[in-house]
Chain A
């Protein structure tokens, strides 16, 4: 049958209509089709082709005539629907190459549907809006931003759970997914150790040690520092554990966090005990748990978390040791160094860029019975009141808000730490300055060189006053990192800075010098 549909006063260019007609002609059941403006000439053409019906005859030159020769009403309906669609141009635009900068999240999500992760480092108060859009579009999110209200975090994580996406952060410094480092991450080989961590430098230190001791990482999922608090309830840690439990690459799972709230802790642990894969758990805090229960290993330092996982991965038994080198050799070294100190030099001054590393140092010092003050104390007696001035043994997390107002993080910008090095060196009671150097993506391209001027000046100044200051550092990173750990180590040693394989060992050694 022949059907004409006339659309009054709808002008379309003839070339466009020809291409439209040819597309419709390909539909099955359509014998012939022509879509034209209703000019007298066009109507003659339609008539000659046997496509002109009664409705079409009355069409005016400004009217669009759809002329169909079809087999059934169903085909008619389908064809007309398709024509409407093509006429209104509401079809998805093919993505065109454009130089225009994208500024809207909506547009980005629409234009790049294949994106599977949205990485967010915008000011905290705005995070919820953008992250919500991403999650609703089925994107996993990595939120580096801090200062996100806890209620927003709860909202986003619950929404993420509902949508089946992973919400890492807010305040998530590090993650390694499928071999790709996000935020501040180290380049590590792929392997069978999976990790879920609530601490940025904690993940960096553990994954780096694992790499440096010959193993690799399947995935390291960051949760953000507040995930295991009561309000948030460990939603991301729970999701991370499930993912790694299911993940065929992952053989052993490491969990790192500050001590969770009791409710969350029991929830997480009951989940852990329901899974067959071995776990290594570090709850970093004063009342840590230690020991082994079925195939769940509780450890007390980042180093042990990494080494225990390495042992399991390699099918070996894990034994915790204080140093890699034999103890008598270490003792000898310490003794020789102590001789260089003058009687007034009594104290350790630790200047950290990594918050978790400073936390680990505080735990080790507490365990060793060393009295100290800190801006991230474990107990009230350790509170350093004036952060501008060290007192006795002092440990500082210089990535803390107090030091970073208006300046970049000390992993990137060494100005403030270098100033503090000089200040500590001027104090005749300073014996040891303990540092950390964090390598990896996003970090300073050459930490050793960044420290160099300050360390050199500090040493020269002390020497003039007949003192020698002992510098010790750990390097968090691997030889695969852009900065290359081996090269950094060499540079530090050339400056006369003692380099230890891990932060824990550096702290233990430093404690031997001040006792």
Chain B
């Protein structure tokens, strides 16, 4: 009766959930009362609540889940991603063939692909020399000779349309702690780019230069350096105003600073070196693809931890958004892709926007990007908010994640670690969907990026995942 006796003798401090007038009554009486804007758990969905209740009432199960989630967070935090090489996709990506095109997000067939992804596929086929023009490229696709496969099924990721064709150079990032390697295409720069579904001459010309000059030169420089520690660049980037998804300015500069001496020391023409340096330096998102490969290398070992309810992958293909859960392995849970809210370039509006697209949510899966928005106040202007909004987004994500990153720290939050490891249980119970930072592609193929913005993952994904989890572990 200790607590009850205290209530009768101490100053009352009340948490109120439900009717707000009760808080007002207490305010009138001069009592400190905090009002909680209570909402039904799991949106009041009975099946989901039943699963949550079953889990919550079993200490053994709760303990197993907690341990498993802790392990997943540890695996992600312990990762040591190093850029070890830059190679053509066909040479390094597992199960890549001459006729394979990798794309972003969960699996999607040609007839369901959105405009920008189709544009990027056709552009890539012309780039590969498999077709002379769009018509030929489209005929080739329809002939069924081209095999489509998600990047994620090949230890790879790609931003926006995420197209990787056989001869494109890719970053090879090795996780030295666990030995796995992940791959990501090289970033083409802003505006009209293949990843946004643009295929014009300018786009193709740049892709060819990237294949013939940029890729080989970077490969030599990286090898000369014996690899580059990407995690350290991310950690420093967060201290310098990047969140390493939609803002990569500081980290791009850090990368350039690290690689420049190696570039200069290569036996290449000065002009070539200068072109490479300028290409990297002029593209504030150059580091994005490195960060993505690094995040992919970070999360892959976290797959398949029994009982873990942590999301290890979130990705979108412009038609659907998909997530994967550690204990449920490679299985995708999908829902229609959402529409970002954001700012648009001059001449474009949300009418032009394609639904959410890209593998870049691998950043959030690894505890940076939108979850680290508090570290990048500069970005909220781009996503249409105030600096406090950025902090609030990060604070909110702590509510649905399982750990705080030990190495990725946020200055504005007194160096608190970033929220890491989205927990399906928390998402579903609290009905708080993970936030996503993203670029916005034009819905028609061939145009490119039209803006950038923010949106939330679909709660249905997490509910479906929870039901599958319950079935697997015979909770229902």
Contacts and interface: CB of A to CB of B under 8 A. Distances in A.
Interface of A: 8-13, 16, 62, 87-90, 93-94, 98-109, 112, 114-123, 126, 129-130, 134, 138-140, 144-145, 163-166, 177-178, 180-183, 185, 219, 239, 242-243, 246-247, 441-442, 482
A16 B409 CA distance: 10
B109 interface: no
B348 interface: no
Nearest to A90: B404
Contact of B15 (A139, A180, A181, A185): A139
Contact of B392 (A8, A99, A106): A99
Contact of B415 (A89, A129, A130, A145): A89
Contacts of A11: 231-232, 235-236, 407
Contacts of B236: 11, 13
Interface centre among B21, B29, B36, B411 (most CB of A within 10 A): B36
B80 interface: yes
Contacts of B21: 442
Nearest to A130: B17
A108 B19 contact: no
B31 interface: yes
Contacts of A13: 236, 239, 409, 411, 415
Interface stretch (B1-9, B135-143, B161-169, B210-218): B1-9
Interface stretch (B37-45, B92-100, B272-280, B355-363): B37-45
Contacts of A144: 18-19, 22
Contacts of B38: 103, 105, 122, 130
Contacts of B62: none
A482 B15 contact: no
A204 to B, nearest CB: 13
B65 to A, nearest CB: 15
Nearest to B46: A125
A140 B33 CA distance: 14
Interface centre among B22, B31, B411, B430 (most CB of A within 10 A): B22
Nearest to A128: B53
Interface string B391-418: 1100110010000101101010111110
Contacts of A112: 13, 15, 34
Contact of B7 (A117, A119, A183): A117
Contacts of B407: 10-11
A101 B38 CA distance: 10
A25 B235 CA distance: 26
A103 B430 CA distance: 8
A246 B5 contact: yes
A121 B19 CA distance: 6
A108 B3 contact: no
Interface of B: 1-10, 12-19, 21-22, 25-26, 28-29, 31, 33-34, 36-41, 53, 56, 80, 229, 231-232, 235-236, 239, 388, 391-392, 395-396, 399, 404, 406-407, 409, 411, 413-417, 430, 432
A239 B4 contact: yes
A243 B28 contact: no
A243 B15 contact: no
A242 B4 CA distance: 10
Given A103-B37, A122-B18, A144-B19, A242 B239 contact: no
Contacts of B6: 116
A185 B12 CA distance: 16
Given A13-B411, A105-B17, 7 more contacts: A62-B229, A89-B417, A103-B38, A103-B432, A118-B17, A165-B3, A243-B5
Nearest to A482: B28
A470 B329 CA distance: 77
A421 B347 CA distance: 65
A145 B31 contact: no
A117 B29 contact: no
Interface centre among A16, A104, A130 (most CB of B within 10 A): A104
25 contacts: A8-B80, A88-B417, A93-B414, A99-B388, A103-B39, A104-B432, A105-B36, A108-B17, A112-B34, A115-B14, A116-B6, A116-B13, A117-B14, A118-B14, A118-B15, A119-B33, A121-B17, A121-B18, A122-B18, A144-B22, A145-B18, A166-B4, A177-B8, A180-B26, A441-B25
B12 A116 contact: yes
Contacts of A93: 413-414, 416
A495 B19 CA distance: 33
Contacts of A121: 16-19, 22
Given A9-B80, A89-B409, A140 B15 contact: no
Contact of B399 (A9, A107, A115): A107
Contacts of B41: 126, 129
Contacts of B29: 180-181, 441
Given A105-B36, A105-B38, A89 B406 contact: yes
B241 to A, nearest CB: 13
Contacts of A242: 1
Nearest to A246: B5
Nearest to A179: B29
A104 B399 contact: yes
Nearest to B23: A119
A474 B13 CA distance: 34
Contacts of A101: 37
A122 B17 contact: yes
Nearest to B408: A11
Q: Which 5 A-B pairs have the closest CB atoms?
A: A121-B18, A441-B25, A166-B4, A121-B19, A11-B232
Given A11-B407, A442-B21, A117 B395 contact: no
A100 B15 contact: no
Contacts of B36: 102-105, 108
Given A100-B396, A242-B1, A442 B25 contact: yes
A10 B17 CA distance: 43
Nearest to B391: A98
Given A117-B12, A122-B18, A102 B232 contact: no
B14 A119 contact: yes
B25 A163 contact: no
Nearest to B231: A9
Contact of A87 (B2, B9, B12, B406): B406
Nearest to A102: B36
Contacts of B5: 243, 246
Contact of B229 (A9, A88, A115): A9
B372 to A, nearest CB: 14
Contacts of B416: 89, 93
A114 to B, nearest CB: 5
Contact of B4 (A106, A140, A182, A441): A140
B414 A94 contact: yes
A136 B356 CA distance: 42
A145 B19 CA distance: 10
A123 B21 CA distance: 16
A30 to B, nearest CB: 22
B10 A108 contact: no
A242 B53 CA distance: 33
A100 B7 contact: no
Nearest to B78: A9
B4 A165 contact: yes
A99 B391 CA distance: 10
Given A11-B236, A101-B37, A103-B430, A180 B409 contact: no
Nearest to A248: B9
A42 B70 CA distance: 34
Nearest to B52: A129
A89 B6 CA distance: 33
Contacts of A100: 392, 395-396
Nearest to A117: B14
Nearest to B33: A119
